[in-house]
Amino acid sequence: MIRTGQDPSRRERARQRREEIITVAAGMFARGGYRGTSLADVAAEAGITQPGLLHHFGSKAGLLLAVIERRDSDSEAFAMELLGMEPSGVLRAMPEFARRNKERAGLAKLFTVLVAESLEPDSPGHEHFVERYRAMRAIVAENIRSAQAAGVTRQDIDPVAKAAEIIATLDGLQTQWLLDPDAVDIVTGVESYARTLERDLACPQR
């Protein structure tokens, strides 16, 4: 019998199934946290056996890291975009990042929940988030140094300390928005902070 079309390969089917499980797990982790969600819960929701789930991810920690990597892919790509921008463009781009998060509130919530659960050194996601924040601080600090070299940002600013402050402010605004979205608009808050930051970083007029 001659086939007129080709079915997806076994490898492609496995990849698609893996992505489906990650999607299910991401939603459950966002609602119940990593510790509050069992592998059995995820397997049942995804319509797969627990051994089948372990075949794809090896362990619950492996599933968590797959979820984190999926969540981080967009934000890391955006961070690299920032690194290639002119200093003035970075501040204008910050509200766009807030808009992206607002449109995907579930992913923003997932990130916040997983960071909180990864504070202890023995938690599965701890090292990932330590490295993630180090990388983000390095990107922001490098952008500040470039602006200082171009003569558009004050020389007395410590790029490393300022980078930590900027990231902390953005994370804090996101957390308040997630807790009380009727009272805190993440986009408006980031737009206001970007204007304040522009004034703070600018070289004094002579």
Q: What's the DSSP call for residue 86? A: -
Residues 37-56 have pLDDT tens digits of 999 999 999 999 999 999 99
Report the number of secondary-structure helices (H) and strands (E) in the chain: 9, 0
Which residue is listed with tokens 């997630």?
178
Q: Which residue has the higher pLDDT, 80 or 9?
A: 9
Checking if the pLDDT of 1 tops 60, the result is no
- Lowest-confidence pick of 54-58, 87-91, 156-160: 87-91
Q: What is the pLDDT of residue 6?
A: 47
Task: With 0.85 as the threshold, say if the pTM is over it.
Answer: no
Residue type, 115: V
Query: Which two tokens mark 109?
Result: 């919530």
- The answer to whether residue 72 is domain-embedded is yes
Strand-pairing partners, residue 153, are 202
Task: Among 12-16, 73-77, 89-93, 94-98, name the one with the lowest average pLDDT.
Answer: 73-77
Residue 3 has pLDDT above 60, yes or no: no
Residue 93 maps to a domain: yes
Residue 172 lies in a domain: yes
Element containing residue 193 per DSSP (H, E): helix 186-201
State how many domains the chain has: 1
Measured distance CA(192)–CA(196) in Å, rounded? 6
> Could you list the residue range(s) of the whole structural domain that residue 126 is in?
10-201
Question: pLDDT band at residue 206, thresholds of 50, 70 and 90?
Answer: low
**Structural domain contains residue 206:** no
Give the closest residue to 46 by CA, choosing from 65, 30, 26.
Answer: 26
Retrieve residue 157's tokens: 């600013």
Structural domain includes residue 109: yes
> Which residue type, as a one-letter code, is found at position 64?
L
Question: Is 2 domain-assigned?
Answer: no
**In whole angstroms, how large is the CA radius of gyration of the chain?**
21
In CATH, what number is assigned to the domain containing residue 74? Answer: 1.10.357.10
68: tokens are 């984190």
3-state secondary structure 121-138: CCCCCHHHHHHHHHHHHH
Decide: residue 140, CB within 10 A, 0-12 exposed, 13-18 middle, 19+ buried.
Answer: buried
Specify if 100 maps to a domain: yes
pLDDT at 4 over 70: no
Question: What are the Cα distances from residue 10, in Å, to 13, 41, 53?
Answer: 5, 26, 16
- Say if 166 falls within a structural domain: yes
